[in-house]
């Protein structure tokens, strides 16, 4: 899976850049405005998590265009502290940042496919995909 576009996340402003790129790619791919907003929100959440917990990482986007269906896949990759208890962070309302708590469960709800892999001390990789209906 070769990412087509990546945004490095080092500072808070990078979250905005990642969000804009995700929305633009979704629009160009043919997603409606509601799904564009869902994708932009999911991107924001993933990029913010990198900024808050890992300090740096990247969000990459790949357009999936197969015979059966088209969609947008995003990968959030960091080499931060990792997540010790994935089950806990996937509970609704769980927050360590005092944020809204939509967090990763929110991303999972906004997208059609969601996968998270994390090693403590190694980092985290989240892959989320939205398909055009």
- Going from the C-alpha of 86 to that of each of 41, 74, 82, 83, the distances in angstroms are 21, 19, 9, 6
Q: How many domains does the chain have?
A: 1
Q: Which of 46, 63, 43 is nearest to 1 (CA)?
A: 63
Residue-range definition of the domain harbouring residue 117: 5-131
pLDDT at residue 93, rounded to an integer:
75
Q: Please state, rounded to an integer, the average pLDDT across all residues of the chain.
A: 91
**DSSP code for 90:** T
Residue 82 near residue 122, CB atoms below 8 Å: yes
What is the per-residue pLDDT across 23-53, written as a single tens digit (0 to 9) for each? Answer: 999 999 999 999 999 999 999 999 999 999 9
pLDDT at residue 1, rounded to an integer:
45
pLDDT band at 12 (very low <50, low <70, confident <90, very high): very high
CA distance 73 to 75: 7
pLDDT at residue 103, rounded to an integer:
86
Q: How far is CA 124 from the centre of its chain?
A: 11
- pTM above threshold 0.95: no
Q: What SS3 state is found at 33? A: helix
Q: What's the longest Cα–Cα distance across the chain?
A: 43
CA distance 130 to 108: 10
CATH number for the domain that contains residue 125:
3.30.565.10
What is the per-residue pLDDT across 94-109, written as a single tens digit (0 to 9) for each? Answer: 766 655 546 899 999 9
Partnered with residue 74 across adjacent β-strands are 61, 128
């Amino acid at each position: 899976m070769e990412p087509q576009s990546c945004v490095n996340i080092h500072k808070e402003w990078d979250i905005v850049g990642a969000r804009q790129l995700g929305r633009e790619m979704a629009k160009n791919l043919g997603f409606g405005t509601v799904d564009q907003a869902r994708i932009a929100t999911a991107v924001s959440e993933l990029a913010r998590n990198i900024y808050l917990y890992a300090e740096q990482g990247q969000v990459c986007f790949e357009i999936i265009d197969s015979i059966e269906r088209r969609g947008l896949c995003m990968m959030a990759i960091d080499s931060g502290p990792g997540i010790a208890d994935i089950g806990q962070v996937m509970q609704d309302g769980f927050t360590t940042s005092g944020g809204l708590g939509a967090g990763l469960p929110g991303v999972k709800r906004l997208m059609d496919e969601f996968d998270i892999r994390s090693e403590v001390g190694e980092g985290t990789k989240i892959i989320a995909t939205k398909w055009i209906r």
